[in-house]
């Protein structure tokens, strides 16, 4: 699959090769869409499409049939707008910041309105333009992060004039525990959201994220918002992953050596070689998004052989114990797998004590990126 990593000159100028499989991304989109039908699947492409490059990912999702794209900030939406056809809708999850209304309206971006203040600012913009402006209305169904609190939603429902000039495309809320299918908070949030959504019967619901897309039809609403699952991440924590892997990361060996027993390995000299050891240093580190918490815990792979990380992760390099490989297997420029068929995103995240989201979104800018 990666024979053409033999683009050596480019590879050797970078800290590693990040391969992003746009066909797998499209397959994941279609799988989610089929599961969610008759609801529609949006694509969440915030944070540069979870670090994978929104300018490549969003058009690939569009080609797979996606027409609804969620980002966190207006700036992200403005960057993507010219890259997508005019029938693509772009939504801003973090809401409408004061002063951003004109730019948002002019670019045809749909804000998620999270408070009465934001609603008032958007209706004022509609009045000033003598037009109707689209929006999503978000309710807090129990996460306490963003959205109208229940009492504000109830008050708003008795005062429809306050929404004059706004076309509510969907009512929306967000699950806090969707990656844990047995967590009782899921059903509690669904019930809370259904009750508030019923106050605005003209708008259809937008509720499920990746995990929520697999919780059953009652969670699907009219428009779901999967992110992580599109990028191959597991929708449910610790359960089998139905998504196709999208990301592969290979990092080159930049030096090999044999060290005698008693050698202190890496920053701090904390790891002391108990015997003679064979080591390889690879050319990516925490500045490339490989967390320092992988020190003495994580691994890379060469073929089917696991190569443990020894000592501390450095900014630009990591030392591996390659004693399990036949001598001479690795040399300057050999590529080892950091994310791939032997080690999933979730494996790396678990070794680092974090989640797949954080590993993905931090994948560094120094990798040579190949989109296929």
Ligand X SMILES: *Cc1c(COP(=O)(O)O)cnc(C)c1O
Binding-site residues for substrate, in ranges, read 145, 315
Question: Which of these segments, 24-32, 118-126, 224-232, 301-309, binds ligand X (CB under 6 A)?
Answer: 224-232
Instruction: Provide the mask over 233-272, with x wherever binding to ligand X is found by CB under 6 A and - wherever it is not.
Output: ----------------------------------------
- Residue 150 vs 308, nearer CB to ligand X: 150
Instruction: Provide the mask over 82-101, with x wherever binding to ligand X is found by CB under 6 A and - wherever it is not.
Output: -----------x--------
- Interior angle at CA 153, CA 133 and CA 190, nearest 5: 105
Q: What DSSP line would sit under 315-346, residue for residue?
A: SS-EEEE-TTSPTTS--TT-EEEEEBTTB-HH
User: Does the footprint of ligand X cover residue 174 (CB under 6 A)?
Assistant: yes
Question: Which of these segments, 60-68, 225-233, 316-324, 331-339, binds ligand X (CB under 6 A)?
Answer: 225-233
Instruction: Provide the mask over 32-51, with x wherever binding to ligand X is found by CB under 6 A and - wherever it is not.
Output: ------------x-x-----
With beta carbons less than 8 A apart as the criterion, state whether 31 and 243 touch: yes
Distance in angstroms (rounded) separating the CA atoms of residues 352 and 329: 27
| Catalytic residue, candidates 29, 46, 91, 219 | 46
Quote the tokens at residue 68.
């609804």
Distance in angstroms (rounded) separating the CA atoms of residues 179 and 286: 27
User: Does the footprint of ligand X cover residue 141 (CB under 6 A)?
Assistant: no
User: Does the footprint of ligand X cover residue 20 (CB under 6 A)?
Assistant: no
- Residue 49 vs 166, nearer CB to ligand X: 49
Nearest distance from C-beta of residue 169 to ligand X, angstroms: 15
With beta carbons less than 8 A apart as the criterion, state whether 274 and 230 touch: no
Nearest distance from C-beta of residue 270 to ligand X, angstroms: 36
> Binding residue for ligand X (CB under 6 A) from 43, 111, 227, 291?
227
Nearest distance from C-beta of residue 92 to ligand X, angstroms: 11
Nearest distance from C-beta of residue 333 to ligand X, angstroms: 35
Quote the tokens at residue 112.
């998620």
Nearest distance from C-beta of residue 134 to ligand X, angstroms: 17
Using DSSP's 3-state secondary structure scheme, residue 369 falls into: strand
Using DSSP's 3-state secondary structure scheme, residue 292 falls into: helix
Q: Which residues contact 94 (CB under 8 A, 6 or more apart)?
A: 72, 73, 112, 114, 146
Active site (annotated) includes residue 367: no
Q: What share of the chain is helix, strand, coil (3-state, %, to 5)?
A: 35, 25, 40
User: Does the footprint of ligand X cover residue 189 (CB under 6 A)?
Assistant: no
User: Does the footprint of ligand X cover residue 225 (CB under 6 A)?
Assistant: yes
Active site (annotated) includes residue 164: no
Distance in angstroms (rounded) separating the CA atoms of residues 359 and 141: 28
Helix or strand (DSSP H, E) at 135: strand 133-138
Q: Active-site residue numbers?
A: 46, 267
Please give the residue ranges that form the binding site for ligand X (CB under 6 A).
44, 46, 93, 174, 209-210, 225-229
């Amino acid at each position: 699959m990666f024979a053409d990593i033999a683009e050596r000159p480019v590879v050797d100028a970078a800290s590693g090769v990040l391969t992003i499989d746009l066909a797998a991304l499209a397959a994941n989109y279609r799988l989610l869409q089929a599961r969610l039908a008759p609801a529609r699947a949006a694509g969440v492409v915030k944070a540069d499409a979870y670090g994978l490059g929104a300018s490549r990912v969003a058009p690939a999702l569009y080609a797979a049939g996606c027409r609804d794209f969620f980002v966190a900030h207006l700036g992200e939406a403005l960057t993507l707008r010219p890259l997508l056809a005019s029938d693509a809708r772009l939504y801003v999850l973090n809401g409408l910041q004061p002063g951003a209304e004109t730019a948002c309206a002019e670019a045809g971006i749909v804000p998620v309105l999270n408070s009465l203040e934001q609603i008032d600012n958007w209706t004022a913009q509609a009045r000033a333009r003598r037009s109707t402006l689209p929006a999503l209305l978000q309710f807090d169904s129990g996460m306490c992060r963003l959205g109208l609190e229940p009492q504000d939603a109830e008050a708003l429902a008795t005062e429809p004039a306050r929404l004059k000039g706004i076309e509510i495309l969907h009512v929306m809320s967000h699950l806090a525990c969707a990656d844990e299918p047995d967590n009782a908070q899921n059903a509690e949030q669904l019930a809370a959201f259904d009750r508030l959504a019923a106050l605005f019967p003209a708008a259809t619901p937008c509720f499920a994220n990746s995990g929520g897309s697999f919780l059953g039809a009652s969670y699907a609403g009219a428009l779901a918002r999967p992110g992580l699952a599109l990028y191959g991440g597991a929708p449910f924590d610790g359960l089998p992953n139905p998504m196709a892997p999208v990301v592969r990361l290979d990092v080159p060996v930049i030096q090999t050596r044999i060290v005698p027993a008693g050698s202190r390995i890496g920053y701090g000299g904390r790891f002391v070689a108990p015997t003679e050891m064979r080591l390889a240093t690879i050319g990516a580190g925490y500045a490339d998004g490989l967390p320092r918490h992988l020190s003495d815990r994580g691994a890379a792979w060469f073929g089917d052989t696991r190569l443990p990380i020894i000592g501390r992760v450095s900014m630009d390099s990591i030392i591996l114990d390659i004693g399990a490989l036949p001598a001479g297997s690795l040399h300057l420029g050999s590529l080892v797998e950091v994310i791939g068929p032997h080690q999933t995103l979730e494996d790396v995240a678990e070794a680092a004590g974090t989640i797949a989201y954080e590993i993905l979104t931090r994948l560094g800018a120094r990798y040579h990126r190949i989109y296929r």
